[in-house]
Structure 1
């Protein structure tokens, strides 16, 4: 079949919806427009990837009974780039389907109807013209979701460490990131410092470093936020074979408490607290409180 050039209307109506990257209902608007365009009972987009497995997106006539799904084993036998007729495949009803593959995904796009429905050559040509676009759109959606996962993971890790961030443009305006009480004058000072060649610029309680990914003159601002700890004591106990009480003593000392202050915080006698501290030094190999503090904040406990 000769390649079809999409009309201006199809480009606006179909490709615009296909590349919209809707997180809530991906490809829903595109499939609905494709179904209406071809007068199909169903328009389908099926995808398969190593990371997310199979996904199915369907648009069908309101209140219509769903057609039986196309067997996945059959889909995998279809040759990429060739248009197939459902009668040719031995599936009930009428319709057309085509497969497009790339290094990230396999994509099948099709239109389906009942036995009395008829799809002509223009419908098949339209699917052929759309198939490569569908593969690109699915890959873009996968990349977007990968980026969203990476950003969420990075933010969760920074929350554990009590670090906030914001990307500042060349004028000191926050492009993206977290809200923080840094004045416009301080943001400008941070960006100016970075653009003047400072490896680390400081203004108030925030620092900034060069950030080429943010664009010309951009800077990455970092500042302290409340630490979102899960259970540092449990992590330190597991790392060094300590009891929960001993580990809680270590965390209290690492946070700046004296032995007397730690005993009061943990409802211990001073004698018990001193016994725990000796156990801590023996178990960790620390030769004093300063080294114990260093061990706490360089161990897995700092990540918990």
Structure 2
């Protein structure tokens, strides 16, 4: 196999891990086929045509061209993207309905204006329904695409199907991970992952804030350390890995940080830096966001009651809360009885738990 073709096929495999995806593939494709432009674009049938996610490589396309497309042609692009047969390679004139256009402004004022005279396009669809289109063009001064160029594009279309399936699966997992990370972050839970010898693999945003703000946990090099001299965190981590039993540790005073060391079963397919332990961090941190509107909606409280509930949930006394809101302490006491009744709690500690573990915190 020709080395440049092999590199092109390998770039398809590596594409799902790039950001943007398949950047190297698009660059190699344009060079391999001798074109002046190549792109790969994601589209959804129910979305604005101009809102697709595009990766492109070109010799020197005029920047005004893309503005012209968005402003003048996105709504009347004649290319029947979703009518194209997956895996088939089309020249522009072979696209359904294009030959019947009396005056093709898209071809004359967009494609030819950019010197995209010769044109090939193909669609790739993977089993879950993710769609991409790949386009390559040549200028008017170059020969038209031939049978070999089409055969290459057909081969690439076949190779892109499993790669696109991998990308779609990775994207789905990534979105799911982001949702759970956001939920954990908003609930003030952080996670540090460790490998088999206690080195840090990753630190999420919430854990990083605990490290930066709490002052009881530090990261030296690639390992977590307790600031307290009487706690050897590295030793405790090693012991938990050896015992395979989770262990809880509190660092600092009452407002410090709680740690939960959770060992994971090692995997032969994970590599030497595979995650072998989850180090969960949590503690008491007042909410910095105003979620009182959500609290009011969840528990049927008035705006003032919801603000009072949030202040109490953040550890304020009744007197402090009343003064901040601008009501009397007696009024606050009356409101608090209604708050406890509506939230199903009997005292401030229960109220704190009820609010800070409610979906209102996930906004």
1:72-121 Cα shifts (integer Å, max 9, x gaps):
42x43333333334444456643433333321323333432356632233
> How much does 1:257 deviate?
4.2
Question: Match of 1:103?
Answer: 127
Q: Secondary structure at the match of 1:133?
A: helix
> Is residue 47 of structure 2 the alignment partner of residue 37 of structure 1?
no
Aligned counterpart in structure 2 of residue 277 of structure 1, from 336, 339, 347: 336
Compute the TM-score of the two structures, normalised by the length of structure 1. Answer: 0.76
> How much does 1:168 deviate?
1.0
Q: Secondary structure at the match of 2:198?
A: coil
* Structure 2: runs of 5 or more not aligned: 100-106, 108-116, 212-216, 218-223, 227-231, 252-257
Q: Secondary structure at the match of 2:83?
A: coil
1:197/1:133 CA distance change after superposition, 3 Å? same
CA contact (8 A) 2:187 2:356 kept: no
Aligned counterpart in structure 1 of residue 292 of structure 2, from 233, 240, 249: 233
Question: Match of 2:278?
Answer: 220
Compute the TM-score of the two structures, normalised by the length of structure 2. Answer: 0.66
Correspondence 1:1-304 to 2 at 5 A: 6-12=1-7, 14-18=8-12, 19-21=14-16, 24-49=19-44, 54-63=52-61, 71-73=78-80, 75-89=81-95, 93-104=117-128, 105-114=130-139, 117-178=143-204, 179=208, 180=211, 181=217, 182-183=224-225, 185-202=232-249, 204=251, 205-212=258-265, 215=270, 218-224=276-282, 226=285, 228-284=287-343, 286-289=345-348, 292-303=351-362
> How much does 1:43 deviate?
2.4
CA contact (8 A) 1:168 1:187 kept: no
Q: Distance in 2 between matches of 1:262 and 1:31?
A: 60
Q: Distance in 2 between matches of 1:248 and 1:63?
A: 56
Measured on the aligned residues, the alpha-carbon RMSD in Å equals 3.7
CA contact (8 A) 2:240 2:263 kept: no
Moved more, 293-302 or 268-277: 293-302
